[in-house]
Amino acid sequence: MEIFTTVSEMKNQTALWKQSGKSIGLVPTMGYLHAGHASLIEEARRKNDVVVVSIFVNPSQFAPNEDFERYPRDMAADSALCLEQGVDAIFAPSTGEMYPEGYISYVDPVDLSTRLCGKSRPGHFRGVCTVVLKLFNIMQPDRAYFGQKDAQQLIILSRMVEDLNLDLQICPMPIIRESDGLAISSRNVYLSGEERAQAVQLYAATEAARRLYAAGERSVAPIVAAMECELAKAGLARIDYLEIVDLRTLNQVERIEGQCLAAMAVYFGKTRLIDNILLG
């Protein structure tokens, strides 16, 4: 396994793989890898000749008041996990390598970027689209793997690929959870013991939605009420948003017709956790 830290080295390797006709699977991450990332890597390994994992804590997707500086990092553990998973190369550039002095070009997914997480994280999806497009250009993947846990990110990136006529397939992957149901996240390490115990209520809220939908409920109001009821059991939780939206437009709906997403963001202290479930 190779570790590349410069764009030029990575591009040279990409060119060699392309010349020999190898298909490339890319798993973009911010590192501090866990079982959720590993599931993406495994699927990429199954479907592609070559697997590249990018590890880059992207400053342009963090607002100044967010956790960019303290975001957990562990390159040694990440390399070990990638090696074990049969990854061919890690791309781990510095901030200066990705955003050199004088950098000015950004991709802005207007409209969709102001919904759900975008409301409380202005500029976040502009940063995500920009860095992911750069990664696509550097690695030229045939397939790129993203988790359903970041559902809005997945929707926006799929639209970017469609809108900008990019030549690759976005592969959505299911949410991997802890044994009690909490969605695995690099940010879970921020939680105190008590917060961690209560955080399982996000999963309980998605399960409440799933049960009601399965029982035939199509009105949004009672589903949202049931989800709020589950979140209310977590005394330390503060809801950022809890919405049921149309999967393509991210507009809030009153009835569930076609594919919808029940999505939430919840603060425990300064830690913001997200979870969601597809309905329909």
CA distance 237 to 242: 12
CB of 26 to ligand AMP, least distance (A): 11
CA distance 193 to 270: 14
Residues in the chain, overall count: 280
CB of 115 to ligand AMP, least distance (A): 17
- Catalytic annotation, residues: 37
**CA 149, 155, 156, 160: dihedral to nearest 10 degrees?**
130
Which residues of this chain interact with ligand AMP, rule CB under 6 A?
A: 29-30, 36-37, 39-40, 146-147, 149-150, 173, 175-176, 183-186
The residue number whose beta carbon is nearest to ligand AMP equals: 147
Pick 121 or 253: Cβ nearer ligand AMP: 121
CA distance 65 to 170: 31
CB of 154 to ligand AMP, least distance (A): 7
Are 159 and 92 in contact by the 8 Å Cβ rule? The answer is no
CB of 188 to ligand AMP, least distance (A): 9
- Which is nearest to 199 in space by CA: 171, 178, 221, 172? 178
Pick 157 or 220: Cβ nearer ligand AMP: 157
Residue showing tokens 């699977």 = 25
Question: Coil, strand or helix: which one is 111?
Answer: coil
Starting at the earlier edge strand, list the strands of the sheet with 237-246.
237-246, 260-268, 271-279
Are 34 and 177 in contact by the 8 Å Cβ rule? The answer is no
User: What tokens appear for 192 in the block?
Assistant: 């105190």
Pick 53 or 212: Cβ nearer ligand AMP: 53
Pick 253 or 263: Cβ nearer ligand AMP: 263
Distance of CA 4 to the CA centre of its chain: 23
DSSP 198: H
Pick 121 or 149: Cβ nearer ligand AMP: 149
CB of 153 to ligand AMP, least distance (A): 6
Say which amino acid occupies 144: A
